[in-house]
């Protein structure tokens, strides 16, 4: 069967999560699992991510299975992340052409506070991991420039041995289910220097996250 395109629906969230988990087998995906869950679970409170994704995220299917996707944080920040079911899929030049077209027409934005709108110049920041060789070649052909804004992934590997947690004095591990959303939102708000009006909705975001389908109450730990 040929590859078909459609827009994202909220029922696709867990399907994309499986795509992300599969992509860890051939590298560190540009759009990781925590990024996916946090954007949908917390950002939705102040950025309307759920509905924004319906209008911007693109999905490609073959035989009823999702094989690739173009996703973003859903906050109109000119960002794009390419996801594939396998490393071989990113070598499909025809598929990549469709994905680039979707990203450029749906996710590129004018930079605020500049003359971009007057000059009709939009921008798009695409995060490309080392494994995506053909994607790198195509961005060069399309005139993209290397950005100084580098995306990093904090991944702590576990070997199966007991992991000893050493916390600074005054801090302790606590059951996250017993920690009020107010304190979770405060720590997040001050860590990222959020101000009003965003600060007003951070608590709502953490409440939504704790009551969402992506939240596992059996493995929730907090450091307080």
By the 10 Å C-beta count (0-12 exposed, 13-18 middle, 19+ buried), 163 is classed as exposed
Higher pLDDT among residues 65 and 161, named by residue? 65
Write the pLDDT tens digit of every residue in 180-200. 888 878 877 887 777 666 667
Cα radius of gyration (the chain): 19
Q: What is the pLDDT of residue 221?
A: 63
Dihedral sign from CA coordinates of 36, 37, 43, 49: positive
Are 69 and 16 spatial neighbours (Cβ–Cβ below 8 Å)? Answer: yes
The confidence band for 112, taking pLDDT boundaries of 50, 70 and 90, is low
Residue 85's Cβ-side half-sphere holds a number of Cα atoms within 13 Å equal to: 11
The answer to whether domain 4-141 has CATH 3.40.630.30 is: yes
Neighbouring C-beta atoms of residue 19, cutoff 10 Å: 24
Write the pLDDT tens digit of every residue in 38-75. 888 777 777 788 889 999 999 999 999 999 999 998 88
The confidence band for 220, taking pLDDT boundaries of 50, 70 and 90, is low
Domain boundaries, given as residue ranges, for the chain = 4-141, 173-223
Higher pLDDT among residues 56 and 112, named by residue? 56
Q: For the whole model, what pTM was predicted?
A: 0.81
Q: What is the pLDDT of residue 55?
A: 95
Q: What is the pLDDT of residue 66?
A: 96
Q: What is the pLDDT of residue 113?
A: 62
């Amino acid at each position: 069967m040929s590859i078909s395109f459609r827009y994202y629906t909220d029922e696709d969230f867990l399907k994309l999560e499986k795509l992300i988990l599969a992509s860890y087998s051939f590298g560190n995906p540009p759009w990781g699992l925590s990024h996916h869950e946090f954007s949908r679970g917390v950002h939705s409170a102040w950025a309307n991510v759920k509905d924004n994704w319906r209008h911007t995220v693109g999905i490609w299917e073959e035989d009823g299975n999702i094989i690739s996707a173009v996703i973003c944080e859903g906050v109109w920040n000119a960002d794009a992340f390419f996801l594939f079911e396998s490393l071989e899929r990113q070598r499909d030049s025809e598929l990549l052409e469709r994905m680039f077209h979707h990203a450029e027409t749906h996710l590129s934005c004018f930079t605020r506070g500049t003359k971009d709108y007057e000059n009709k110049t939009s921008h798009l920041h695409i995060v490309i991991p080392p494994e995506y060789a053909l994607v790198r070649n195509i961005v060069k052909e399309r005139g993209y420039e290397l950005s100084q804004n580098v995306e990093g992934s904090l991944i702590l590997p576990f070997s199966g041995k007991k992991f000893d947690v050493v916390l600074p004095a005054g801090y302790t591990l606590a059951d996250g289910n017993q920690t009020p959303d107010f304190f979770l939102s405060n720590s997040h708000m001050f860590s990222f220097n959020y101000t009003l009006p965003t600060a007003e909705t951070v608590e709502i975001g953490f409440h939504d996250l704790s009551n969402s389908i992506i939240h596992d109450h059996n493995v929730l730990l907090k450091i307080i």
